[in-house]
Amino acid sequence: MSYEQKNIVDQSHHNGKKFKNQEPFKLTLSDTCRWYFNRNVLPPQAGYLGFNHQWCQSIDMTLDDDRIWWIGHSTTLIRLNGKMILTDPVFSDRASPFQFLGPKRRTPPALSIEELPNIDFIVISHNHYDHLDYHSIRQLVSRFANVVILVPLGLKTKLHKWGAKTVIELDWWGSADIDNLTFTATPAKHWSKRGLFDVNKVLWCGWVIQSNVANANQTKTLYFMGDTAYSSVLKHIGEYFTHIDLALIPIGAYAPRWFMQSQHIDPEQAVQLYDELHCHAAMAIHWGAFELADEPLDEPPTLLSQYREARAFHLLKIGGSLSIHQTDSKIE
C-alpha cells in the first residue's frame, strides 16, 4: 500500500514535553477529586431495561450506499468510496484499563468484532479509555491484518506495540491520501491521559475524511469531532472545509457543567457548532453507552431534540444508520 502523508508540526500546541490547547484549559486535580467524590449520577427516566429497548435496534448491513452505522458511544462504522472505516472502536464491557471496574457499558454495541465486515481504516481521536481500548484494538488487528490506523501525534508507538502493522501519525492539519480518501487531523479542545504520569504526552484531535477530493463536484466530506469542549478554534475547521456533508458531533458527558465544560460540549453547544460549521447534516454520538458524567444516559437526546429545531441533526438508535449525501437531509 502506498500513500502520501503531509504532516505539519505546529509548535503552538506543543512545548517540547506536552501538548496543550490553543485556548485556556482548566482541569486540576483538586477539581477532579471534588467532582469524583461527590458524584450524583442520575438514572435514565425509564430505567436501564426501558432505555435499552428504546435506544437500540437490529443493525442492517445489507444497505450498499455510502453510509454510516452507529455502533455505540463514539464507535461508528463508515462506508465511503467502497472502503470501511471505524471511528474510536470500543467493544469492551468497560471503558477502563480493567474489565472488573470502571464505567460499565449500559447498552451493547450494535455489532461484535466478529460480525464486522472487512475494515480498511481505523481513526483514533485520543487515548482516553472510552475511545482507545486495548482489547478491541488487539482483536481488530488480529482479524484485519492489513487495516490502516490513523492516530494523533504520540500514539504510533503504542499501536505498534499492540500489534498494528500500519499506523499513520498526524499533527493537527496534517493529512494522508490513501485509496482515494483523504484523512485530515483537526484541532479539538480536550486532553489525554491513560496512566499516572502521561497527562497530555500525546495529542488529541478530530478527523475530517473526504472521498474523491480531486473532483470537487463529487467530494463527500465527513467530520468526526472526537471529544472536545466548545472552542472558537473549531470555527476554522468550517472555514477550511466549507462543505461538511455530515458531522459526527458528541452530545453526552457534560454534567456538571462547572467541571465538564472544559472538556465536553453539551447538546446546546452541539447545535451551536452545527450552525457555526455550516454542516449540511449531523449525527449525535458519545452518549447512551457509558456513564462518564452525572447526567442521565437518556438526557442528551432529550435536550438535543429541544435545541435542534428544523436542523438535520439526526438522533439514531444504536444500530441505526444514515445515508451520506452531498445535499441536506431530512430529520429522521
pLDDT digits (tens, 9 = 90+) for 274-297: 999 999 999 999 999 999 999 999
The predicted pLDDT at position 329 comes to 35
Tens of pLDDT along 205-252?
Answer: 999 999 987 777 788 999 999 999 999 999 999 999 999 999 999 999
* Nearest residue to 296 (alpha-carbon basis) of 242, 237, 251: 251
SS3 122: strand
**What secondary structure does DSSP assign to 269-329, as a single string?**
HHHHHHHHTT-S-EEEES-SSB--SSS-TTHHHHHHHHHHTTS-EE-PPBT-EEE--SS--
Q: What is the residue-averaged pLDDT of the chain?
A: 90
**310, exposed or middle or buried, with CB in 10 Å at 0-12, 13-18, 19+?**
exposed
- CA 285 vs. chain centroid, Å, equals 7
The predicted pLDDT at position 16 comes to 75
The predicted pLDDT at position 330 comes to 36
Q: How far is CA 249 from CA 76, 117, 328, in A?
A: 12, 24, 17
| pLDDT of 5 over the 80 cut | no
d(CA 179, CA 168): 14
The predicted pLDDT at position 79 comes to 97
Q: How many angstroms separate the first and last alpha carbons of the chain?
A: 39
Sign of the alpha-carbon dihedral angle for 225, 228, 229, 230:
negative
pTM: 0.92
